Amino acid sequence: MSEPLWTSDELAAAMGGAASEPFAVDAVAFDSREVGPGALFFALTGELTDGHNFLDQAFASGAAGAVVSQPTDHPHILVGDTTVALENLARASRKRMGGVVIGVTGSVGKTGTKEALFECLDRAAPGLTHRSVKSYNNHTGVPLSLSRMPRETLYGVFEMGMNHAGELLALTHMVRPHIAIVTTIAPAHTEFFDSVEAIADAKGEIFQGLEPGGTAIVPFDSPYRERLIGAAQGHADKIVTFGLNDGADVRAIEVLPGQPGGTFVTAQIGADRTLSFTLSQPGDHWVANAMAVLAAVDAAGGDLEQAGLALAEMDGLAGRGARFKTAVDDGTALIIDESYNANPSSMCATLAVLAETRASRRLAVLGEMRELGDESDAYHAALAEPILGANVEALLLVGEGMAPLAGALEGRVELRHVADAAAARDALHMMLRAGDAVLIKGSNGVGLSRVVAALQGRA
């Protein structure tokens, strides 16, 4: 039998706590709803909830042990602060890992890039590749993902996010990547930054955690390329650029429409290597992400041919490009699910994908983009031209923040503006026709995933 993820002795040593009794765990969770047999449950204490209130629920679900700061009758590790204990366990997990660690950040595309990297590396080393699940990329999600990493892992891929300066610095020092990727710099969380340049600087913090001899992977086509390269210098032994344009170290030299709905790509890797493959996902933004993935696989010493096969077979991610058909009168409509989040850059990228999608009619359900600060109205109004350029024939706008866009498009396209996701769900039900292609995208807080779920229930 394989070794457990953690024993109680290892847990106590890593976290500076005391074990109530011997036990072993095979998983780690801080949400009692995610606890299964053999899991370790962290009773985190927050402003609104206290994990200690869910201990009985966690053990009823099969938990083997818990990390607590209050005594309990359940098997446990007693510590002074459970959040600090989780961070300490994450550091212990990273310390015992002898493989290659890759960190991914960016304003757009970090989750998709992380998932693609996992698929590429896991195909060549099945069962020996570990990554962050979902979008666990913040001050609790990153240490949780690290603490779940099996001891025999060869490749670890970790997503790191931020919405304030300095947050990424703490995460990258915990992850200590051998390879660090910045996908894209774009206006996101601008409510908390003075400029997009400041966002680039905050994303560039990821390079400060690089291990000696590490590689920084930077978007060549970004207007902030030189800024990111400057952030990497002094921390990276090697800086690799990726993109679609001449001059990038890893670039797409041929991009052709593929079937069904994907893209055929020939990539040049360095001075003298090429790789041709089919990318299952459409859109130039996915081609650019794929170049970052190939750069990282190459830097990690991975198998590029296996990576190409993995990119061809990768399914769309829920909320980030997954496609499905929903039943309507006399047929079906195609739904493009981009409901997880949105900023001006990702809105434009996905509208371009909608423009290339074959359909009898193109619809867009767009939720407001949040955390854009004083420029929010301007950013929303600026979506008018990309929408018209995508030949969107019917538009459903969701949320008060979409008012400037509604004004900019008045009389130029069939348009409805509703208050929330519930109203959007009802309105879309009345609008759908057979043969439609529908893009659904908005900031996560708008809740357009509920619209998607309703459509999936109709299939």
6-82: which CATH number, 3.40.1390.10, 3.20.20.450, 3.30.420.40, 3.40.50.2300?
3.40.1390.10
State yes or no: cis peptide before 260, omega within 30 of 0.
yes
pLDDT the model gives residue 334: 95
Query: Rounded to 5 degrees, what are φ and ψ at 372?
Result: -105, 0
What tokens appear for 449 in the block?
A: 């995933």
* 97-313 and 322-456 agree in CATH topology: no
Binning pLDDT at 50, 70 and 90, where does residue 2 land?
confident
pLDDT the model gives residue 165: 87
pLDDT in tens, 354-382: 999 999 999 999 999 998 988 999 999 99
Domain topology for 322-456? Protein-Tyrosine Phosphatase; Chain A (3.90.190)
pLDDT the model gives residue 151: 94
Binning pLDDT at 50, 70 and 90, where does residue 300 land?
very high
Mean pLDDT score across all residues of the chain? 94
Cα separations in angstroms, 172 against 146, 211, 275 = 12, 10, 31
pLDDT in tens, 172-206: 999 999 999 999 998 776 677 889 999 999 999 99
pLDDT at 141 over 60: yes
Average pLDDT over residues 197-216: 97
pLDDT in tens, 145-166: 999 999 999 999 999 998 888 9
pLDDT the model gives residue 189: 65
pLDDT the model gives residue 46: 85
Angstrom distance (rounded) from CA 77 to CA 87: 15
Query: Rounded to 5 degrees, what are φ and ψ at 201?
Result: -65, -40
Q: What is the pTM of this model?
A: 0.87
pLDDT the model gives residue 190: 67
Q: Helices 110-124 and 284-299, interaxial angle, to 10°?
A: 50
Domain topology for 97-313? UDP-N-acetylmuramoyl-L-alanine:D-glutamate ligase (3.40.1190)
Q: Residue 332 carries which side chain, given as an amino acid letter? A: T
Angstrom distance (rounded) from CA 277 to CA 116: 14
Tell how far CA 355 is from the center of its chain. Answer: 24
pLDDT in tens, 62-94: 999 999 999 999 999 999 999 999 999 999 999
pLDDT in tens, 247-294: 999 999 999 987 667 899 999 999 999 999 999 988 899 999 999 999
Sorted by where each begins, the domain ranges of the chain are 6-82, 97-313, 322-456
Average pLDDT over residues 204-228: 98
